[in-house]
Amino acid sequence: MTTPPIDWHARAAAITLPVRPFIDGRFVESTGAERFDSINPAANRPVCTLPAGTAEDVDRAVAAARRAFEDGRWAKATPLQRKAVLLRIAELIEANADDLALMDSLEMGKAISAARAEIAFATGFFRYYGEAVDKLYGTVAPSDGITLSLGLLEPRGVVGAIVPWNFPLINAVLKAAPALAAGNSVVLKPSEIASTSALKLAEIAAEAGLPDGALNVVPGLGPTVGQAIGRHGGIDLVSFTGSTATGRLFMTYAGQSNGKPLLLECGGKSPQVVCGDMADDLDAVAARVAHDAFWNQGQWCAAKTRLIVEDGFHDRLVEAVIRAAAERVPGDPLDPATNFGTIATRGQLGKVRGFIDHARTEGANVAFDGGTWGETSTAPAILTDVRPDMTVACEEVFGPVLSVMRFRDFDEALAIANDTAYGLAASIWTRDARRTQAAARGIRAGRVTVRASAAAGEHSGFALGAEPWGASGFGIEGGMEGLRSYCRFKSVEIVC
C-alpha cells in the first residue's frame, strides 16, 4: 500500500510548535516577559513567538544540568544504559521526522524535501554516538612493576552548546549526541532564527528515557541567553557553532569568566580545485561542484564557493556548472517538488545580492544570475574573472554565490586555495597521483576530499572527525576524536 503524499501546507497549519524552554525534563515558562517572533522567510510572517530568554533561565538550566551530572543519573549510568537511550532517541527522531522537517522548513525556508532528507543525518549521528558509548577507551601506560598507570576519559560536566540556524536539527544533534554519549549534561541554545526542532529534540530525548536535566534547551537571543551561557561559571565547556565574529566573543566570555575551554566551529570560504584531467567526467564533476557550492542555498559552513579551475578546462567547466546551477529553481519550500528553498532572512538576502553587485564593481563578470524569487530567495549566481583579492573571494557570503578563478600550474592552484583566513574544507578534482598527494597534504583545511564532494555520512559514515584551521575555529568535531573532545583526560597512578 502506498502512503498518500503529505499536504505540507495543511500540516503546517495544524502543527503545534514547542516554544518554551525545556529545563529539568519539562517545558517551563521563561522568567522573562520579552518575546520575539520566529519569521517564516518564505511567507514573511511569524511562525511562532518565543521568549527572548534571560540569564535566570540559563541559571535554572545550568542548575538542573549540574544536579543531573553530580548525582550520576546519566554520567554514571552504565555504558549499555546510555547506549540504549541514545539509540532510542534516533528511533524517535525517525518517528517524528515529518514534524521535525516541517519545523526547520517553516523557520528557515529550507525546501521540505531537503529537510526531510536531512533527518538521516540526525538519526545517523545519534546511532553513531550511541554505538560509541561502550567503545570509548582510555589508556594503560607503561610503568614499573608496582604501579598501574591509567589514562581515564571522563565527562567534562555541564556542556554549553550554542548553534546556528542553517541546519537547525542537525546542528543541535551534532552537539547533543557526542556530549551526552560522553556522559555530560547539556544546556543548548538554538538560533533565534530556528529554535523549535531543538526544543522538540529535548522532548523526544526525555521520552526516550534520558534523565531529567541531562539535556536542557533554552531558546532566546544571542546577547541574552548566548552570552549568559558563555559567561556562566557553572559551565565546564562551551561548544559553539556559528560565525567567526560570535565565536571570538565566546573566547572573551570564557576569558572573563571561569576560563572554560571551548570548541569553536566557525565560518569558512572553502575552495574546490578542478584540474583539466577530469574533463572526461565533465557533467559529473560539474554536478558535484554545483552541489558543494549551492547546497542549502549556499548556507552551509563548508560551502565550496571558490572554484579554482585549470585554465584550459575553465570555459567548458563553467558552462557545465551553469547548466547544473540552472536546475536549482527557488520555489515554495513546502512544495515537495521545490529543490531550492529560500534564504533564511530578508537581511541575509540583501547581503547576498550586495555581494554580487559589489563583485561587479570590482571587475567580476556575472556569468550566471538566476535572479531573485519574489522577495524571499535568490537563485544561484556564478561569477567569473574573480581575483583572489576581491571581497567576494575573501569574505564568507553564506548564500549561493560561486566565485571562479583560473590557475596555470598546480602550485598556483594550491596557493589560491590557501589564500584565505579560513580553513574548514576543500575538494580537489584530479586523477594525477602527485597532485592528489600535494593537495591532500598542502591544503590548510580540516576536511579535504579528493575526487568527491563531502557530506557527512555519504562516504565514511559518521566516523571522520575534523579540526578547522585559522578563522574557522578549533577543536575536533565528529567521529571518535570528536567524542573525546567532550571528555576530560585524567591520569591515575595506582601503586600496589
Segment lying near ligand NAD (by CB under 6 A), choices 34-42, 49-57, 221-229, 401-409: 221-229
266 is catalytic: no
DSSP string, 314-360: HHHHHHHHHHHHHT--B--TTSTT--B---S-HHHHHHHHHHHHHHH
Segment lying near ligand NAD (by CB under 6 A), choices 69-77, 145-153, 187-195, 410-418: 187-195
CA distance 71 to 299: 41
Question: Is residue 162 involved in binding ligand NAD (CB under 6 A)?
Answer: yes
Q: Cα torsion at 324, 329, 333, 334 (round to 10°)? A: -100
Question: Is residue 123 involved in binding ligand NAD (CB under 6 A)?
Answer: no
Q: Which of 220, 194, 8 is nearest to 109 (CA)?
A: 194
CA distance 328 to 368: 12
The count of residues interacting with ligand NAD (CB under 6 A) is: 26
From the candidates 107, 118, 265, 467, which is the catalytic residue? 265
* Cβ neighbours of 215 (radius 10 Å): 33
Q: Which of 173, 164, 494 is nearest to 348 (CA)?
A: 164
Question: Is residue 265 involved in binding ligand NAD (CB under 6 A)?
Answer: yes
Near ligand NAD by CB under 6 A: residue from 123, 184, 239, 246: 246
Residue 361: in which H helix or E strand, if any? helix 346-361
What are the backbone angles phi and psi of residue 348, rounded to the nearest 5°? -70, -35
Question: Is residue 439 involved in binding ligand NAD (CB under 6 A)?
Answer: no
* Cell numbers linked to 383: 561569477
Question: Is residue 223 involved in binding ligand NAD (CB under 6 A)?
Answer: yes
Question: Is residue 396 involved in binding ligand NAD (CB under 6 A)?
Answer: yes
CB of 58 to ligand NAD, least distance (A): 11
Nearer to ligand NAD, 223 or 312 (CB): 223
Q: 213 — alpha (psi -120 to 50), left (phi > 0) or beta?
A: left
CA distance 431 to 24: 54
Near ligand NAD by CB under 6 A: residue from 268, 330, 465, 479: 268
Question: Is residue 295 involved in binding ligand NAD (CB under 6 A)?
Answer: no
Segment lying near ligand NAD (by CB under 6 A), choices 84-92, 207-215, 259-267, 270-278: 259-267
Question: Is residue 374 involved in binding ligand NAD (CB under 6 A)?
Answer: no
477 is catalytic: no
From the candidates 301, 310, 467, 487, which is the catalytic residue? 301
- Closest chain position to ligand NAD (CB): 226
Query: Which residues are tagged catalytic?
Result: 265, 301
**Which residues form the interface with ligand NAD (CB under 6 A)?**
162-166, 189, 191-192, 222-223, 226-227, 230, 241-243, 246, 249, 265-268, 301, 396, 398, 424
